[in-house]
Each structure stands twice: as C-alpha cells, then as structure tokens.
Amino acid sequence: MTEHGKIDLLIEARWVVPVEPHAVVLEHHAVAVTAGRIVDVLPIAAARARYAARETCRLDEHVLMPGLINAHTHNPMTLMRGIADDLPLMAWLTEHIWPAEARAMSAEFVRDGVELAIAEMLRGGTTCCNENYFFPDVQAGTYKRHGFRALVGLPIMEFPSAWARTRDEYFDKALQVHDEYRGDPLVGTSFAPHAPYTVSNESFERVRMLSDQLDIPVHIHVHETAQEIEDSRREHGVRPMTRLQGLGIVNDHLIAVHMTQLDEAEIRLCAEAGVSVVHCPESNLKLASGFCPTEELRRAGVNIALGTDGCASNNDLDMFGEMRTAALLAKGVARDASAYDAAFALRTATLNAAKTLGWGERIGSIEPGKSADLTAVRLDALETQPVFNVISQLVYACGRHQVSDVWIAGVPKLVAGILVDMDVPALRARAREWGERLRSQG
Amino acid sequence: MTEHGKIDLLIEARWVVPVEPHAVVLEHHAVAVTAGRIVDVLPIAAARARYAARETCRLDEHVLMPGLINAHTHNPMTLMRGIADDLPLMAWLTEHIWPAEARAMSAEFVRDGVELAIAEMLRGGTTCCNENYFFPDVQAGTYKRHGFRALVGLPIMEFPSAWARTRDEYFDKALQVHDEYRGDPLVGTSFAPHAPYTVSNESFERVRMLSDQLDIPVHIHVHETAQEIEDSRREHGVRPMTRLQGLGIVNDHLIAVHMTQLDEAEIRLCAEAGVSVVHCPESNLKLASGFCPTEELRRAGVNIALGTDGCASNNDLDMFGEMRTAALLAKGVARDASAYDAAFALRTATLNAAKTLGWGERIGSIEPGKSADLTAVRLDALETQPVFNVISQLVYACGRHQVSDVWIAGVPKLVAGILVDMDVPALRARAREWGERLRSQG
C-alpha cells in the first residue's frame, strides 16, 4: 500500500477463494493491487473505506481466485492438437508425433504454437506454465513479449534435434538462455533432461551440478510407463528413480512428471527428498500409461501439482477440465470418494504448482506480497446453478469458458472474456496454416 | 421430400457427422428437413439444385451431428448440484441426498429441476434423455411442454415416497402415466424399478410381465458397486444379474445402468440377451463405485450407451465432457490407448443411446426418415484449432459451450447459442430460490 491508501486497482468480487488459507471462501471481498502486487484482501466495505483505487473492477457474479498454473506442458504442440488419437503409445510416437515434429520443428513453429497456447491458456484462466520443448529461447521470448509467466525448460538429451546437435551444444545453449532470463520477473528457466531413457548418466551429472549452482529446478518425465521401468531394469539394473537417486537428481529441485509407477519406498523417498510430482491424468489416460497414485502421495506428504501435458496427448490446455479429471480419477483409483477433494484439486493447480516451479513465495495464492496473477470466473451460468459450495462448483461443474477476467502481475490480459492484446483471427489463421502444412506432409 | 423439392429447412454445414455410417465425416454437406424429419443428406451444391427450402441455415464453421442422448439421468436433481461432494457413498446418500430429497420432493421441485435441466441440456447439444426419478407425470408434462424428447422412467420400489405409498400405488400410477403418453411423438415411458436391492421379486415379476405386454424398456441401476454384489449374495444367494435373469428381466428390454462389477459370464449374458449397458463414468468415479469394463463389453458385442447420471454425482449434464471422460478412462482401464476411440464415444452418446431407449429407428443418426434432432457445434474457437480430425476434435477438445444450434423434430430450440423459448433469468432465479430452500433446511 502506498501512502493515503492510493492503489492501482481494487477488484471487488462476490467470492474470493485465496487458496491459502486452504479451502476458504470469502464472500463479498476485495483484492487490492498496486505495482503488480497484491497488497490486501478484505471485505468490500472495508476496502472502499481504506483505499483510493485508480481503477475499480466489480465482479458481482464471480469467483476471484489465483491464476491457474499448468505444471507440465509442451505448448508448441498445440499446433498438433488431434493429429493422431486413439493409438497405442509407440505407434503414436514413432509413426505420427516424431515424424510430424521432425518436419515442423523450427523457431517459427515454436513461436506460433506458444502464441496459440497463450491465447488458449488466458481464455481458460491459466496465468503460468511449466514449459518443456525445443527452442526455449523462442519460447521465453514469446512468453515475455505477451506478458505471460512461464518456467521454460532447457532441453537436454543425447540425440540431435533442430535445436542442438551435440550434448555440449544442448548445455551451451541451455546456459545462454538461462543467462538471458536471469532475474526476469516473468520468465524463468529449469533444466529439462527429457527422460531417464533418453539422457545419459554423464548428462544427468552435469544437470545435477548446474542445477545446484544456479538453483533452478530439474524437470523430467519419469516413471511414465511400466515399459520404462522394465527397460531401465534391463539396461541399468535398477528402476529409474533409483538410478536418478544415485546420480544425485532426487532432491527438492526435482519436478517428476507422470510417476504412474511407484512403490512404497519411492513414495517415501519423494516425500523425504522434497520432490514435487506433476500429475497429468488426462495424458496418462489417453496414452494408457497407468494411474499415478495421488492419494498415497498426498498422504505421504508429497507436493502434487497438476499439468495437462501437450495438446497431442490431451487434447487441450484446460486446467478446469484437468482439475475435474484429477479429482474424479483419484476417487476411482483409490476406491475412496473423499480422495482428491475439490479444494485439494484447486490447490494442485495453483499453490502446489507454484511450489513445484520454485515460485511458492511469488504466486499460487491470493496473499499480500504475491504477484497479482488472478483469474475471475462467472458462476451465474445456468450450468453452475444453484451454488451450494463455490470450490465444488469450480472443480465439478464449471467450464473454462466461464472465465471472464485474467490479470498477470496486475496487468489485465483478458477482460470480460476478450483477449486484451492478442489478435484472435490472426491466431486462428496461422493455426490453420500450420494444420495444412502438417497435414500435407503427413 | 415433397413434390417439386419443396422442403421446410436446409441446413448447410462445413462438416456433417451422420454417425451412421460409422466414423464418417462429410465435408460441405447439407441436411434437408421437412415436417420434422430428415429427408436427405447430400453435398451442398446438389442440395441447392434439388430443393427449394422455406428456410436455409448456413453453418460455415460448424459440425452438424445428431443431437446427443443422455442415456441415464435424474434431472430434477440438477437443483442439488454440488450439495454434497467428496463424500463416501453411504454418507453422501444417507446424510445428505436422501434427507434433502425427503424435504424437497414435490411436483414443483421436479418441474423446476427438469426445466433447469432442459436449458442445460439444450445449451450443451443434448436433445433427448433417459429420465429416472419421482413424479414421472410432472417430468413428462414438462418435457412435452418444452418440446424436449425424453423416455420417462416409471419408478417402482418397495418403500413409500412423496410419489406413491404402496407397491400397488407405484404400479397404478405408472400405468396411468404410460397410458397418457402412449403414442406421443416426443415423450415415452419405461419401467424404472430402482435397483435390485430396493425392489422385491414380486415387483420385478410384475415389471417383467407389463414390460412385455406394453413393449417398453426396463431401466435399472444394477451392479453399481461391489457392496451391492455382496449384499445380494448374502440375501439372495446369487449376484444381482443372476437373480434378475431368474426373474426374466435380462432381455432386450433391459437398460442396465452402471455395471461396474461384471464377470465374463455376465458380459456374455448381456451380449446374448441383447441387454443395453449404460456407462456413467463420471458418476462411477465420483462415488468411487468401480470401473465399467467397457472394452470387454464392446468386444463382446454389447450395446453401450453413455449417461451423466444426476447432477448430485457428476455435477453436470455435459455429454461432451462425458464422452471425453469415457474415452479417456476406458484407455486407462483397458491399458489400451485404442480403446473407446472418438467415433465410438460419439456413437455411445447418439445411436447406441437411441437403441438403448428402443428408439434406434427414430433418432440417433442423421439418416433420411429419422427425426431431425440435430446439434451444430462451432469448431472455429482457438481451443479447437487446427482441425485434423473432426470427430477427435468433438470428443477430445470441444467444450459444450461451442454448441450453437439445436433442433428437436425440426423445431429450433437453440439458435446461435440462444435458447429460443426459455427465460434464462427466470430459470436462474428459480434455481437460486431452491438453493436457498435446500440450504436453509440442511
């Protein structure tokens, strides 16, 4: 708060769901924002008395909540949405996705895919993503240009791509991108060694050393399928998590994505080491990869975040849909209707995801001092009537099209359902062009 | 077609997905409608040459498909959306749902709930439902008044309710409602003995005899949970399906809802007897009831349809979401990414559902002679770009808010997203009143 209570923005909402404290719904509350940060959360009447806001936004039928955080995605693949569905994993990868990627992969593809994804994410209430793809320099530049918050993975793998040819080149380019965005308020970097089966021990050791020195997360696909476990046993004599542990990778920098195959000792290890697990239920179902034991992980105290994965295996970036799928699926898998309750689902898509990215102090909840990354959702649609429980309604009944307003660091990005600074017809036209190009080469 | 090619309506669409033939997408096709029926499906240019339409509807960015059919729902419970979530089944039923129903149950509750549900269904592209609740007379009257197609279940159970006090009264009132709607073009009836554990052998025998005589379906919750199987073994010495078989209920009139517990012999029995299974994946997940073995049923040749169940265990009537959940979940459960593919998902929500209701000759596909129950979906949203495969897009990426136009028997019910003859603010206000009433009594 500045002197005399002058602030930039006062958002008055029918309901505020701050996420922290947990499972709380504040009625008729306001959020005061100045210089991109939340400065206060208080009843509307008190807010009007205390603050002189340069701008006031009234949300009479809305829930105001933290912007959603997609904790695992490959956003350039938005341009491949639906290119190959209903196929077994290996046929999907080797006959469709990899050949299409090999043809399309370029800075231009990555830029256009990320732009389409940003529009989709904003329209769906997502304000931050944990990105994992080639050309992290182009991704980072695109997120920054659009004022979108992202942790950009710096890819590391043992085979050549359009991004880098050798191991050394992957590392050199990774460090260049990291250096360029050091201290950036919106865009950060992580190491993203693709998976245990595509990255050597030597590379993991370099990742471990550098992630310690630079204090950035390590974002890996791990224990995604039973096949991966078997292959690791055959090649390395141990399960992937055991191998990673031996390489020093299993620590509180680790963002372990998928984790559908876990024994009790591994769950305990994750809890003790402070690993964050990113659950991607729709992708795991669509590719028949297995079920992440979210209830056991939660009980063990492991930080669980939620991600959509890329649009080729989902096929959207809809975090409302993902919360719902996660909450429903966990109940079926755990045989317990109280598993992954609505408030927990919302937490995995906000504060837990922020912690996963190393940004738990910066975003993920509506608390004074945090960045004003906010999402407003209209609850007056017939499809969300009547309202008995606001958080249930968000998770079990709401569609992402009910998102009306989105701010990132206090900057409005979506106003009454309209993207502030993106050209929708141009985005649509470019997506269609990519569709034609990918189809004609198919 | 009338003489000289005069027809009521020509709908020209970017894509037509007729469902029959299976998995086909017709580009730039038109559907000719007259007197409420489909008379032709042909390329737009040919349609313009052949027909003089009183009205033409151009859908340049849309898929035209059969109206969706929700094969199991309790629509008055839409007023209880989100009243109690994340609870174990018995606590949910005995501490929340049944007490709330006991307080609210009335003709007025049923009428208002059905009206809210009709609005939600139309906005989501659903044109027909298989209803199962108290006061079927009120339901039937409400559906008919709104021009909505429904098969209304005639409840049979052994305990008294606000609808009927004794077994004889349940049967008497059932037959009265059946008689009133005999031959109605929109509203039909089925017997709806609640479940094996709430209905006696004697009642099942009467249902069997009457359903044979009247040639109407029998709609039952069956094999919903493992507990139900155990209880039946203890009480009757056999599993519920075996008991129902002994009572003559297992035949091609049977609409068996849920079926999460099935052995191989039971799957074979369903195939041989011509039973239709209604899969309610979101409800089964939310209540942790178990997983319906859809892939085994499909391979055995059993007719599978899709339903949302009531809004207290879902919490919506969104058949797009349900198709998506069914398609994703089946892959995880069968450990096969090719299970419940997109075209099959659409079929379970249209033609298979029509067959389930005994209306396979009347609705469920876009074929000459069938009723013009049609749904148009915009695919130009950024969230459904690019379009590689139209059916994949409908199932895996589309949201129900992309539904633009809906016709039932050729009558427009939703036009460019607007309900033609329903008062949305009044519906919202009434839902809120019920919310207050149910909450204050809670």
pLDDT per position as a tens digit, A280-297? 999 999 999 999 999 999
User: Pick from A81, A87, A388: which is nearest to B439 by CB?
Assistant: A388
Closest CA to A126 of A64, A79, A70: A70
Q: Do B329 and A329 touch (CB under 8 A)?
A: yes
How far apart CA B279 and CA B307 sit, in angstroms, is 6
Q: What is the pLDDT of residue A89?
A: 76
- Chain B residues whose beta carbon lies within 8 Å of the beta carbon of residue A384: 81
Asked if B119 is an interface residue toward chain A (Cβ–Cβ < 8 A), one would say yes
Per-residue pLDDT of chain B (442 residues), as tens digits, is 445 699 999 999 999 999 999 999 999 999 999 999 999 999 999 999 999 999 999 999 999 999 999 999 999 999 999 999 999 777 888 899 989 998 899 999 999 999 999 999 999 999 999 999 999 999 999 999 999 999 999 999 999 999 999 999 999 999 999 999 999 999 999 999 999 999 999 999 999 999 999 999 999 999 999 999 999 999 999 999 999 999 999 999 999 999 999 999 999 999 999 999 999 999 999 999 999 999 999 999 999 999 999 999 999 999 999 999 999 999 999 999 999 999 999 999 999 999 999 999 999 999 999 999 999 999 999 999 999 999 999 999 999 999 999 999 999 999 999 999 999 999 999 999 999 999 876 4
Contact present, B36 and B10 (Cβ < 8 Å): no
Asked if B21 is an interface residue toward chain A (Cβ–Cβ < 8 A), one would say no
Scan residues 127-186 of B and list those with Cβ closer than 8 Å to A.
none
Q: What is the pLDDT of residue B441?
A: 61
How far apart CA B85 and CA B44 sit, in angstroms, is 48
Record: fold of A68-356 = TIM Barrel (3.20.20)
Q: What is the pLDDT of residue B440?
A: 76
Query: Residues of chain A with pLDDT > 70: what percent?
Result: 99
Which residues, 6 or more positions from B200, have their beta carbon under 8 angstroms from its beta carbon? B158, B167
- Give pLDDT tens digits for A133-148: 999 999 999 999 999 9
Q: Do B385 and A325 touch (CB under 8 A)?
A: no
In a mutational test of the A interface, the residue from B261, B396, B432, B434 whose CB has the highest number of chain A CBs within 10 Å is: B396
- Alpha helices by DSSP H, listed for A32-135, are 44-50, 89-91, 98-104, 107-123
Q: What is the mean pLDDT of residues A80-91?
A: 90
Scan residues 91-110 of B and list those with Cβ closer than 8 Å to A.
92
Contact present, A363 and A370 (Cβ < 8 Å): yes
Q: What is the pLDDT of residue A1?
A: 45
- Give pLDDT tens digits for A301-323: 999 999 999 999 999 999 999 99
Q: What is the pLDDT of residue B89?
A: 76
Q: Do A315 and B392 touch (CB under 8 A)?
A: yes
Q: Do B286 and A387 touch (CB under 8 A)?
A: no
Task: List % helix, strand, coil for chain A (3-state, nearest 5).
Answer: 45, 25, 30
Q: Do B123 and A92 touch (CB under 8 A)?
A: no
How far apart CA B81 and CA A389 sit, in angstroms, is 9
Which residues, 6 or more positions from A148, have their beta carbon under 8 angstroms from its beta carbon? A118, A121, A122, A127, A128, A129, A186, A408, A413
- Chain A residues whose beta carbon lies within 8 Å of the beta carbon of residue B321: 321, 324
Asked if B425 is an interface residue toward chain A (Cβ–Cβ < 8 A), one would say no
Instruction: Please check the confidence at residue A440 and state whether its pLDDT lies above 80.
Output: no
Shortest Cα distance from A396 to chain B (angstroms)? 6
Asked if B338 is an interface residue toward chain A (Cβ–Cβ < 8 A), one would say yes
What ranges do the domains of chain A cover? 3-66+373-409, 68-356
Contact present, B40 and B9 (Cβ < 8 Å): no
- Give pLDDT tens digits for A188-216: 999 999 999 999 999 999 999 999 999 99
Contact present, A286 and B337 (Cβ < 8 Å): yes
According to DSSP, the β-strands at B52-66 and B68-73 are unpaired
How far apart CA A352 and CA A359 sit, in angstroms, is 10
Which residues, 6 or more positions from A98, have their beta carbon under 8 angstroms from its beta carbon? none
The tokens 């049609």 sit on which residue? B374
Record: fold of A3-66+373-409 = Urease, subunit C; domain 1 (2.30.40)
Q: How confident is the model at residue A80 (pLDDT cuts 50, 70, 90)?
A: very high
Q: What is the pLDDT of residue B3?
A: 53
Q: Is B389 strand, coil or helix?
A: coil
Q: What is the mean pLDDT of residues A22-45?
A: 98
Tell how far CA A183 is from the center of its chain. 20
Shortest Cα distance from B3 to chain A (angstroms)? 42
Q: What is the pLDDT of residue B1?
A: 46
Contact present, A62 and A378 (Cβ < 8 Å): yes
Scan residues 46-85 of B and list those with Cβ closer than 8 Å to A.
79-85
| Count of CB atoms situated within 10 Å of the CB of B370 | 23
Asked if A331 is an interface residue toward chain B (Cβ–Cβ < 8 A), one would say yes
Q: Do B337 and A290 touch (CB under 8 A)?
A: no
Asked if B235 is an interface residue toward chain A (Cβ–Cβ < 8 A), one would say no
In a mutational test of the B interface, the residue from A309, A396, A428 whose CB has the highest number of chain B CBs within 10 Å is: A396
- Alpha helices by DSSP H, listed for B124-257, are 136-145, 167-180, 201-214, 226-236, 240-246
Asked if A399 is an interface residue toward chain B (Cβ–Cβ < 8 A), one would say yes
